[in-house]
Amino acid sequence: MSTHTYKKFEESNAGGLPDKMTVYQDCLNEFNESPVSPKKCRLLLSRLLKLLSHGDTFPPNEATALFFSISKLFQHPNNSLRQVVYLAIKELCMISEDVLMATSSIMKDVQNGSDLVKPNAIRSLTRVLDESTAFSAERLFKSAVVSKDPSISSAALVSSYHLLPIAESTVRRYANEMQETVSDLKTHQHTGSSTEYYRGSSYMSQYHALGLLCKLKSHDKVAMMKLVQQFSSGNILREQLAQIQLVRLVHELLVMDNQLIPEFVPLLSNWVSSGRQSVQLETCKLISALAIHMPTDLFDSMIRTLQMMLAVPHVSFRFAAVRLLNKISMSAPEKIVICNPELESLINDSNRNISTYAITTLLKTGTSKNISSLINTITKFIHDVSDDFKVIIIDCIRTLSLKFPGEWKNLLSFLIDTLKSADGGFQFKNSIAEALFDLIHYVPESKEQALEHLCDFIEDCEFSEILVRILHLLGKEGPNTSKPSLFVRHNYNRVVLDNSIIRSAAVSALSKFALTKGDPTLGPSIEILLKGIEIDHDDEVRDRATIALKLINTSKTDPIVAEEFIKPTYGYDLYALESKLAQYLHENPDGFTSPFDASTIPKYTEDEIKAIELKERQQKMLAATEGTSVNNSSLAGDSSAPKATQDSLIETSDDETLSLKYAEQINAIEEFSSFGTIINSSKPVSLTEPEAEFTVFGVKHLFEDHVVLQFNITNTLKDVGLENVVVVCNTEADSNEIEEEFTIPVDRLLPHEVASCYVSFKRPNKTATYGFFNTINFTTLELDPATNAPFEGDEGFQDEYEIDTLYLQAGDHIKPYFVGNFSAVLDELPYEQVAVYNLKQSNSSLQDLVNKLVVSTNCLPLENSQFVSSETNSHTLKLFGKKVFTDDRVALVVGMIKSKKGTALKVQCKCDDESFCVDLANELIL
Amino acid sequence: MGNLFSSMFDRLWGVNKELRILILGLDGAGKTTILYRLQVGEVVTTKPTIGFNVETLTYKNLKLNVWDLGGQTSIRPYWRCYYANTAAVIFVVDSTDKDRMAIASKELHMMLQEEELQDAALLVFANKQDQPGALSASEVSKELKLAELKDRSWSIVASSAIKGEGITEGLDWLIDVVKEEQL
């Protein structure tokens, strides 16, 4: 084709996409010609592919017609046409039916075709195979895997991944060939004219083979060990991706069984200190993820490797290293102090991602001693970076204020300085304001000074949104300070000087000062101010002033009502409020004549909201440190993936929404309608091994007079269904105080489904611990895999399955609560009980123990005591909560010491209720 | 230059035209074996054909485009996708499989009713004559009710693909008929 005609050919569709119907018709006509013209067909196919790649699709009947006409092109032996045909078949397989018609032709090419088309043919073959035809392709795959040509071998190996979900057993049968490919180094055909790049890349099939082997052997500990032994010795793995894959395999293995770690220490220390940087990095990730089980010297050499990597010229390695260090700094800041010089030099790195990570890491390793010098460094640095990075740094400072409440003076002055400095956009200023709010919230000592600084700031602030937030805060906190009149002045200035949005916020804030307890002279003055505002030209401002005056006047006769409106002591759960309102608007049963009923929406007092917020924050921090382990479980393979995500869902989903969800579920069940509302729901407790056939989570719900145990049962089996699933709960022999009422079974539980079984009891008067020995009784039915229904006439057989004991304990009567001054409250509480526990052969770390205690007592950990430094052998955990029925306060101080013999716990419990105190302290389940 | 001339001559004599031939029949009749007997001249080991095999071969100066479609029940419905422009159909019968003669007959007659095959010549191979108990060509012809066919050139040849008997004879007949009709 001359350039001239070529141009003409292309011009017709130079710009946009070719027309779909034209392409369709042209394809049908051209491909059914005899003989076919390979050039024209290739061009048409490329147009078709262009359409498909742009997301265009054909209805199944047209796709099928296309597929059949394309299949006719197999008559032509032209290799380049064949390659395009394979690409088209691969695409059409998704939308066309009857693709199996191409099977024989493709298989023939895989067997006898030229080396050029073989890889394409192999890749298409996996798309047309199904369960019943896969076995006939086994021999083809086998010989392709061991082919001398690396691209054929790689194509077969990578295609086998796609074959796994449809025919795993077929793939398993050529595992030996895969092993052979790992150790057989294939040289690329291009060696004649090769560059370094080509020779290196020719070992790629090694990586593909090893990856596939790892996938096949995952979950099989012995086979995995064998793989590691086989390929870690000598110089077998040339491809660095294969080496990394091996490190990941070891990682998976060690996560499965951390008892194996000592055996792998020599290998790991070899990897971490020699070889390629990418392998070193992967090993560092492994060591840091399993840090608690690693010997100290290995951990130290990992830190040294990372330290070295901070100074390499390659940007991505520097970035990866500093990111990993940042992650380590969350759990073991003291370990990475030695990297500080390198980190400090990275603050000026030209890559801002790196410099930001460096600075946040430095902030975390900071101790109360050097924090002020660090803040000095940041003050210089923060003006050079963009707003996005500034926000990250401020967030880090914000967590610092929780971590070092004692350092509030330095932090406050830094925050105020950056807030007042001229540059920075709304996002940045807002995050500073939020950090200051936190400081005021959780470090009460800083309140007055911070508020005064904020008053200065609002005199000259360009962002209305931030101003409004600060005014609200002033109104809330101002009246309780030592000199409220100061804040009134600042507040009133805003009424005089600013726009209507700010004016109305200021009015609301002002009205709260009228009720100040400490200074009775303020009330009348506020009244005078508000009267002045009543002539404001903005509606909203006038309205607010009027209603405030009205309420202040009633407060003279009826102080309680006024207080309720001006200074509400509780807020609604906003999510619940929103959904209820939406429901009300949507249903509208009688044209809005019946008022909206807000009584069912959960209300929280200020302290409760604080507790919820703090818990969210803590969970976020925890999630950040545990990020690696979550990644690992998803590495472990497809079959476990749904389970892993389910677990993490339960963990990460907000507690409040979880208990709301439970409440909804239970309300929907008739039997529970007379029980009233749920008073307290526990967190889900796992009652089985995570890899069991049926996994069960138990949840305890407390009602006024009843206790309901909910068992969430997941059937993980493939083709077995369960019928009439009942949980039989036997209480401990001596406790006849607890009486079973009824059980709600699950009728049918199909594979991969989750269902809930309920057992209801009369609520015992005592708060002592009750153990429930649980057995699940059920009928198993074999399912027909085709229909997912039981085989006809199959009556199944009775079976039972024992699960772990579920304990109803004192902690279930507690709701987490926040309190600012824990030690003062601790001294205040009247009753005390001290108990000592000795845990003998406990392998779990102190951190595990702390996590368990937080769950079983259902209290809120305070003063950052839920994080255990990985260095120490002792820790003190501080917990606080309130009893649900009586609002009695509960405070716990748990001191723990770990030694070689085990772990010793000293539990000091203080409470408003004597018997509860005794129950809680003496009957902890660990 | 020489190429140019020869292709011009080809066009003159109509040799460049390819003849489309389908090989059909029940599963296990020996279709794939016949195809490769024609192409490479020897017996190859075959597996049940999932889909089709297509080969181009030159026979007596004619270019033949031979399609061997799988005979399994699941694949038979797709035969019709390949009927268009077909010059001839080779229907292969396993002469020892007396039980399925009726099915073979039904499939054959159903296929020949298709509009697109009205002008196609039919060659039936009574295959597997090397096996003991094989029906003769005339017996097979009776079982298939070939005598009922109207307006069609057809022939039945006893063959053994394994031994290579009868194949060329059958094809010779077919080429003669097709040449007459199509060229």
Q: A465 lies in a domain?
A: no
**A741: pLDDT confidence band, cut at 50, 70 and 90?**
confident
B133 is in an annotated binding site: no
CB contacts < 8 A (A, B): 55
A107, closest residue in chain B (CA to CA): B50
Rounded-to-integer distance, Cα A684 and Cα A673, Å: 22
CATH for A710: 2.60.40.1480
Rounded-to-integer distance, Cα A130 and Cα A478, Å: 72
A855 and A820 both lie in a single domain: yes
Confirm or reject contact between A32 and chain B (CB < 8 A): yes
Tell me the β-bridge partners of B24. Answer: B91
Rounded-to-integer distance, Cα A491 and Cα A857, Å: 44
Cis peptide before A35 (omega within 30 of 0): yes
Q: A473 lies in a domain?
A: no
So what's the pLDDT on residue A871?
63
Measured between beta carbons, the chain A residues lying within 8 angstroms of B75 are: 100-101
CB A158 within 8 A of CB A125: no
B154-158 and B121-127 strand pairing: parallel
Measured between beta carbons, the chain A residues lying within 8 angstroms of B63 are: 35
**B107: pLDDT confidence band, cut at 50, 70 and 90?**
very high
Q: What is the DSSP string of A18-78?
A: PPHHHHHHHHHHHHTSSS--HHHHHHHHHHHHHHHHTT----HHHHHHHHHHHHGGGG---
A800 and A829 both lie in a single domain: no
**pLDDT tens-digit readout, A466-512:** 888 888 888 888 777 777 777 888 878 877 777 888 888 888 888 87
Rounded-to-integer distance, Cα A782 and Cα A344, Å: 64
Q: What are phi and psi of A825, to 5 degrees?
A: -65, -40
Q: A292 lies in a domain?
A: no
Short-list A616, A786, A799, A795, CA closest to A694: A799
So what's the pLDDT on residue A652?
38
Short-list A166, A172, A180, A276, CA closest to A218: A172
Q: What pTM does this model have? A: 0.61
Strand order in the sheet with B154-158: B52-59, B62-69, B18-24, B88-94, B121-127, B154-158
Q: For CA atoms A560, A566, A570, A576, give the dihedral sign.
A: positive
Tell me the two tokens of residue A6.
């070529």
A765 and A682 both lie in a single domain: yes
Residue A183 has pLDDT above 60, yes or no: yes
Confirm or reject contact between A103 and chain B (CB < 8 A): yes
Rounded-to-integer distance, Cα A899 and Cα A918, Å: 27
Short-list A431, A432, A489, CA closest to A459: A489
3-state secondary structure of A862: coil
Q: What is the DSSP string of A447-463?
A: HHHHHHHHHHHHTT---
**pLDDT tens-digit readout, B113-147:** 999 999 899 999 999 999 999 999 999 999 999 99
Where is pLDDT greater, at A105 or A914?
A: A105
Residues of B catalogued as catalytic: 72
Q: What does each C-alpha distance from B181 to A72, A338, B19, B91, B177 come to in angstroms?
A: 24, 93, 12, 19, 6
Please name the residues in contact with A708: beta carbons below 8 A apart, sequence gap of 6 or more.
A666, A672, A675, A700, A701, A758, A759, A760, A761
Q: Which residue has the tokens 């407390």?
A: A702
Q: A176 lies in a domain?
A: no
Rounded-to-integer distance, Cα A614 and Cα A878, Å: 14
B54 closest CB neighbour out of A68, A103, A105: A105
**pLDDT tens-digit readout, B146-176:** 999 888 999 999 999 999 899 999 999 999 9
Measured between beta carbons, the chain B residues lying within 8 angstroms of A98 are: 78
Q: Which of A93, A101, A107, A131 to mutate to test the interface with B (most CBs of B within 10 A)?
A: A101
A681 and A800 both lie in a single domain: yes
A746-749 and A860-861 strand pairing: unpaired
**pLDDT tens-digit readout, A362-420:** 887 776 667 777 777 777 777 777 777 788 788 878 777 777 777 777 788 888 888 87
A821 and A801 both lie in a single domain: no
Rounded-to-integer distance, Cα A366 and Cα A375, Å: 10
So what's the pLDDT on residue A1?
45
A739 and A760 both lie in a single domain: yes
Q: A774 lies in a domain?
A: yes
Tell me the two tokens of residue A403.
């971590």
For chain B, domains (ranges, CATH) are 16-178 (3.40.50.300)
Q: Which of B54, B69, B178 to mutate to test the interface with A (most CBs of A within 10 A)?
A: B54
Confirm or reject contact between A104 and chain B (CB < 8 A): yes
So what's the pLDDT on residue A589?
66
Domain that holds residue A702: 669-783+796-808
Please report, for chain A, how many H helices and E strands are present, in that order: 40, 18
Tally of structural domains, chain A? 3
Tell me the two tokens of residue A664.
């909804």
- Taking an 8 Å cut-off on Cβ atoms, the answer to whether A34 and B85 are in contact is yes
Residues A772-799: b if buried by 16+ CB within 10 A, e if exposed:
bebebebbbbebeeeeeebeeeeebeee
- In chain B, % helix, strand, coil (3-state, to 5) comes to 40, 25, 35
> Which residues of chain B have a Cβ shorter than 8 Å from any chain A Cβ?
16-18, 20, 47-54, 56, 63, 65, 67, 70, 74-75, 78, 81-82, 84-85
B52 closest CB neighbour out of A32, A77, A101: A101
B164 is in an annotated binding site: no
E strand or H helix at A727, and its extent? strand A720-731
Burial of residue B179 (number of CB atoms within 10 Å: 0-12, 13-18, 19+): middle
B171 is in an annotated binding site: no
Measured between beta carbons, the chain A residues lying within 8 angstroms of B67 are: 75
**A644: pLDDT confidence band, cut at 50, 70 and 90?**
very low
Where is pLDDT greater, at A691 or A516?
A: A691
Q: What are phi and psi of A718, to 5 degrees?
A: -85, -55
Rounded-to-integer distance, Cα A382 and Cα A396, Å: 13
B56, closest residue in chain A (CA to CA): A75
Maximum separation of any 2 CA atoms in chain B, in Å: 59
Rounded-to-integer distance, Cα A457 and Cα B175, Å: 100
A774 and A683 both lie in a single domain: yes
Q: Within 13 Å and on the Cβ side, how many CA atoms surround B61?
A: 9
Measured between beta carbons, the chain A residues lying within 8 angstroms of B52 are: 71, 74, 101, 104-105
A707 and A733 both lie in a single domain: yes
Q: A563 lies in a domain?
A: no
Residues A63-88: b if buried by 16+ CB within 10 A, e if exposed:
bbbbbbbbbbbbbbebeebbbbbbbb
Measured at the CA of A699, the angle between CA A694 and CA A705, to 5 degrees, comes to 140
A722 and A843 both lie in a single domain: no
**pLDDT tens-digit readout, B1-36:** 445 555 555 555 555 578 899 999 999 999 999 999
3-state secondary structure of A111: helix
CB A341 within 8 A of CB A358: no
| H helical segments located in A421-483 | 426-442, 447-458, 464-477
- Taking an 8 Å cut-off on Cβ atoms, the answer to whether A100 and B53 are in contact is no
Q: A850 lies in a domain?
A: yes
Q: What is the DSSP string of A594-642?
A: SPP--TTS-EEEHHHHHHHHHHHHHHHHHHHHHHHHHHHHHHT-TTTHH
Strand order in the sheet with A797-808: A746-749, A720-731, A770-782, A797-808
A802 and A821 both lie in a single domain: no
**pLDDT tens-digit readout, A305-359:** 999 999 888 899 999 999 999 888 877 777 888 888 888 888 878 887 888 888 8
CB B92 within 8 A of CB B34: yes
A709 and A759 both lie in a single domain: yes
Residue A643 has pLDDT above 50, yes or no: no
B98 is in an annotated binding site: no
Q: A293 lies in a domain?
A: no
A847 and A913 both lie in a single domain: yes
CATH for A874: 3.30.310.10
Confirm or reject contact between A386 and chain B (CB < 8 A): no
Tell me the two tokens of residue A916.
């509860």
- The 3-class SS string of B38-74 reads HHHCCCCCCCCCCCEEEEEEEECCEEEEEEEECCCCC
Q: What are phi and psi of A399, to 5 degrees?
A: -70, -30
Rounded-to-integer distance, Cα A73 and Cα A45, Å: 11
Q: Which residue has the tokens 């330290």?
A: A307
Residue B96 has pLDDT above 90, yes or no: yes
